[in-house]
Amino acid sequence: MSGAKQNINIAIDIMGSDFAPESEIVGALEFLNENKDKSIKLFFVGEEELIKSEIEKHPSIKNFKFEIVNATQVITMGDDATAGVKSKKNSSISIGLDLLKDSKVNAFISAGNTGAILSTSTLKLGRIKGVSRPTIGSFFPTLKENPTLLLDVGANSEVKPQFLYEFAVMGQVYLSEMYNIKNPSIGLLNIGEEEKKGTETVQEAYKLLKESNLNFIGNVEGRDIFPGAADIVVCDGFVGNIVLKFAESFMGFFKETLKIYANQSPLKKIKVGLMAPTIKDVFRGFDYQDHGGVPLLGVNGVVIIGHGKSSPKAIKNMLYTALITYTKEINKKIEISLQSS
């Protein structure tokens, strides 16, 4: 049907975030209002009655194309990663991914249980040709213009050198396509700059990356992440997950430390009160919500994962990420890059 614009269907896990279903429905509405692309249809996957009652609060959503897909189960954060394919086959995650597998939708987004999305996606959709292991990344704020994409942050606690190389290729395609970063630089997370540092695995990965046609800048250390030494930093999911969660706890630690200080005396309380708005303003740029989730790279389908604390804005941005990942055919480009690099 050349000439006719193809419809794009995106499924949303309405039960995913900590603020579900409100974040999801409000975020979807914001996306539809802003995007105005009539060829887009959203599939709201979750408990039908809950979705309907949330939609009643936002009647303008009825101006857009959407469909409710009932899912009677919910995978919670406490559920095992295998729940999607074992005990909770009727969960919003499972049913949403079935829609994707059956080509009824072009992408799926969820702010739910990351482990469950990862394993259910991998099993249902399979891997992109040439990918040994799917990976999940996370953006870290830096002192430079762009954040750094760290991957893997938890999908693979043990890796082979080849996996690290593939993470770099996937990250490279993703950053250049999504953010127009040309030939992004790639660093290997290690405990020293020299080629012979670290575990056998990272030493072997170093060789693979050096021999590739990627823009590999060598080892980067823990201290190099914030200064933005590399656009992409690859590591195993064990260290990546620990660094990510440690980083996420910084702001909380900082706030608590200020609170403890403020409670030491009335004068200190005033001092902290005076600087609080500035602190907030300074760190506005570090809003994780802006990134619109992270793609689950390497599975054979467009799956975008959001933080449990996703706001409507985050959901809206996840929908954009899904749309661009699909329209730019990032998965196809990953396949090609893995063949050629």
* Binding residues for its own copies (CB under 8 A): 143, 154, 157-158, 189, 191, 197-200, 221-227, 235, 237-239, 241-250, 252-254, 256-258, 260-261, 268, 271-272, 274-275, 278-279, 281-283
Q: Minimum distance from CB of 226 to its own copies (Å)?
A: 4
Cβ at position 91, least distance to its own copies in Å: 20
How are beta strands 185-189 and 215-220 bridged, if at all?
parallel
Write down the least CB distance from residue 224 to its own copies, Å: 8
In the complex, what is the shortest distance from the CB of residue 211 to its own copies, in angstroms, rounded to a whole number?
A: 23
Q: How far is the CB of 143 from its own copies (least distance, A)?
A: 5
Nearer to its own copies, 36 or 284 (CB): 284
Cα separation, 55 vs 20, in Å, equals 12
Q: What b/e sequence results for 254-263 when a residue is b if at least 16 CB atoms lie within 10 Å of its CB, and e otherwise?
A: eeeebeeebe
Nearer to its own copies, 42 or 188 (CB): 188
Do 16 and 314 touch, CB atoms closer than 8 A?
Answer: no
Closer CB to its own copies, 234 or 302, in the complex:
234
CB closer to its own copies out of 46 and 154: 154
* Cβ closest to its own copies, residue 258 vs residue 336: 258
